[in-house]
Structures are given as C-alpha cells and as structure tokens.
A = this chain, B = another copy of it.
Amino acid sequence: MIGMMPSHLDELITALRCLPGVGPKSAQRMAYHLLQRDRAGAQHLAQSLERAMASIKHCSKCNNFSEQEVCALCASPKRDAGLLCVVEMPADLLMMEQTQCYRGMYFVLMGRLSPLDGIGARELHFDRLVKRVQEHSCEVILATNFTVEGDATAHYLATLLQSQGVKVSRIARGLPVGGELEQVDSGTLAQAMLERREVLA
C-alpha cells in the first residue's frame, strides 16, 4: 500500500480534521473536492488562514477579535463608557449593534460557562471583566443567551458583580426560552434590551 496515496494528500486530509465537525470521511471528501474542482479556492483558503492567524488578536478592552490592540468600537469617543454589555460571542455583539438601540461598551466572553468542557471563570476572563467594571464604575447589562449555560453564566456573573456593589441588569426575556441571540430578529432583541431589568440579589 505504501506510496499509493500521495503523502501530501494524506497530510491534507489529516489537517482538515482540525475543523470542528469534520470527521475522516468528510475530510477526505473536502480534500478530493478541492484538488479536483477548486484549487483556487484552496489556495485562497490557505492564504486567508495565514493572514487571519497572523493578524487577529483579542481587543485588550472588550476581548472581541480585533486586528488592533484596542478595537474600533472601544476606541470610539461616541460610545457611553458607563454601560457595559456582556455577550457570549462576537456574532452576538454584531446582532446587538444591528438593533441600533445600544450605545455603550461591550465585553465579549468568547464562550459561556461550561464545566463539562472545562470552560470556567478563568477561561472566560471574568477577572478582566471585574477589573474593567471597577476601573470605570459602569453598569453591567448581561446579554448572554437564554440557554441553560447562558443563564448559568449570567447568574454567576450577577452574583460576582453585585458582591462588589455593581449595578447589574439582564436583558428581558423577550426571547423564546432556549433562544439564542443570533437567531432572533432585531426588533425582538431591541425590545429585550429596552425592557432589561435589574438583577436583584
């Protein structure tokens, strides 16, 4: 069997498995597809991967992906530094911005508490979040998803921040139970933002 499969093809099939949800069969299918039908796409993907990995870091203020030390949103003088909205993922921040009803700052957790996956307070940089809130004495709006894990994350953060005297609110349950921010229309999300209520200790 040696030499029957080009070694660089083997290598590509293995490398494709770093993508989430891609098993051995689909990695093989992807490699064949690229080699037979889309070599230009494969070249472009290779370059995009290199460029993205080299240039994209996390904003030192909001933790969102950014090519600068401080992202454009955090650097903007037009934003209200007295409000800090906590979201799980960059896509949630984009959804929130699309509602055009929020002019404060953000903190992007890049995940949610998920003990079974080994994602805890440390992985989500709660220490940086608390430090930032203390420094700017801002009000915190928790806009994590209304899933079990999103709710648990909000509850944990509310307890943590309130113990430090921070005013904390949670966006309103305008979203369906189990709903994710990314899948809801702007109107519903705007409403949920307006109807946010303070989290009582």
A: residues with CB less than 8 A from B are 1-9, 11-12, 14-16, 18-21, 26, 28-36, 38-39, 41-53, 55-56, 65-67, 71-73, 89-91, 93-94, 97-98, 110-111
Contact of A49 among B42, B51, B53, B97 (CB under 8 A): B42
- Whether B72 and A4, one on each chain, are in contact in the complex, defined by CB atoms closer than 8 angstroms, is yes
- Whether A6 and B67, one on each chain, are in contact in the complex, defined by CB atoms closer than 8 angstroms, is yes
- Whether B45 and A18, one on each chain, are in contact in the complex, defined by CB atoms closer than 8 angstroms, is yes
Contact of A32 among B48, B55, B72, B89 (CB under 8 A): B89
- Whether B20 and A45, one on each chain, are in contact in the complex, defined by CB atoms closer than 8 angstroms, is no
Query: In chain B, what residue has the closest Cβ to A45?
Result: B15
Q: How far is the CA of A32 from the CA of B63 in the complex (A)?
A: 13
Q: How far is the CA of A34 from the CA of B65 in the complex (A)?
A: 12
Query: In chain B, what residue has the closest Cβ to A18?
Result: B41
- Whether B20 and A41, one on each chain, are in contact in the complex, defined by CB atoms closer than 8 angstroms, is no
Q: How far is the CA of A65 from the CA of B12 in the complex (A)?
A: 13
Q: How far is the CA of A51 from the CA of B38 in the complex (A)?
A: 15
